[in-house]
């Protein structure tokens, strides 16, 4: 795998989605959870998506249940939760592992491209990766970084 656009991920509906579909866009890739202290960040993620989508930007959400069992639902429960509580319109994918031997290949790539302060593994839900239009991972942000704090950085890439 040579770049972000070479990967495929399953949508919440179970369909294969080639990330090539997002070629030429700036992306914010986030591992999400419905029962996490950071879950209200869905609101900020959706606001970024709404503000910047017309300029070639997308948030990609990857539910993960590896941190405190904070994403226990199935695909339809996740979709309903995101829609009803936060009006999420950005692409949400099937639940994945982001760490360990079963980590999704996309997350293996992201972690290798941008290590965190404490090494490459993802420490918690709502870790954020910023990807430029060419598919290069340009930044990694901790869960404590709010989506609205990324407005300037994303705007500059657009």
> So which residues are the catalytic ones?
36
Give, rounded to a whole angstrom, the gap between the first and last alpha carbons of the chain: 25
Q: How far is 117 from 140, CA to CA, in rounded Å? A: 10
Q: Which residues of 133-142 are buried (b: 16+ CB within 10 A; e: fewer)?
A: eebebebbbe
Q: Which of 107, 111, 135, 100 is nearest to 5 (CA)?
A: 135
Q: Which of 118, 142, 122 is nearest to 130 (CA)?
A: 142
Q: How far is 42 from 32, CA to CA, in rounded Å? A: 8
Q: Which of 91, 81, 131 is nearest to 107 (CA)?
A: 131
Contact 48, 151 (CB under 8 A): yes
């Amino acid at each position: 795998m040579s770049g972000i656009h070479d990967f495929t991920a399953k949508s919440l509906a179970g369909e294969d989605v080639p990330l090539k579909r997002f070629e030429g866009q700036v992306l914010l890739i986030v591992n999400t959870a419905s029962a996490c202290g950071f879950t209200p960040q869905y609101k900020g993620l959706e606001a970024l998506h709404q503000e910047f989508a017309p300029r070639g930007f997308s948030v990609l959400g990857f539910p993960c249940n590896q941190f405190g069992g904070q994403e226990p639902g199935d695909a339809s429960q996740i979709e309903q939760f995101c829609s009803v509580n936060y009006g999420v319109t950005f692409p949400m994918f099937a639940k994945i592992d982001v760490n360990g031997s079963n980590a999704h290949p996309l997350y293996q790539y992201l972690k290798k491209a941008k290590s965190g302060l404490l090494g490459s593994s993802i420490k918690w839900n709502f870790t954020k990766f910023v990807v430029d239009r060419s598919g290069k991972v340009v930044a990694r942000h901790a869960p404590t970084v709010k989506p609205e704090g990324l407005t300037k950085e994303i705007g500059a890439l657009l």
